[in-house]
Amino acid sequence: MTQSELAARCQTANYTTTRVLDTLEKLALVERRKHPTSRRAYQIFLTEQGRALEAEATALAKACNHEFLSALSEAERDLLK
């Protein structure tokens, strides 16, 4: 997906997404490739190293969400979402 699509899906500002992607790119976890039909857009891809961390990172994020959301009632969780 493009960087703009990623920012929209993550509900983050474009500049925030850019900074995070800059860091992930320096760590060789993602790479930017020119969009095939847009001269201004770049698509974001996980590298092999990034893909290797995907399952572990997803599990950690889910555990973190569970830990913090478990203190809330179901109605409060729905409101937060």
27: domain range? 1-46
37 and 72 in a common domain: no
Cβ neighbors of 72 (< 8 A, separation 6 or more) are: 80
* Number of domains comprising the chain: 2
79 and 66 in a common domain: yes
pLDDT at 18 over 90: yes
- CATH of residue 22's domain is 1.10.10.10
pTM of the model: 0.73
Residue whose token pair is 């929209």: 8
Average pLDDT, the chain: 93
Q: Angle at Cα 31 formed by Cα 5 and Cα 48, nearest 5°?
A: 115
What pLDDT score does 80 carry? 86
Q: How confident is the model at residue 2 (pLDDT cuts 50, 70, 90)?
A: very high
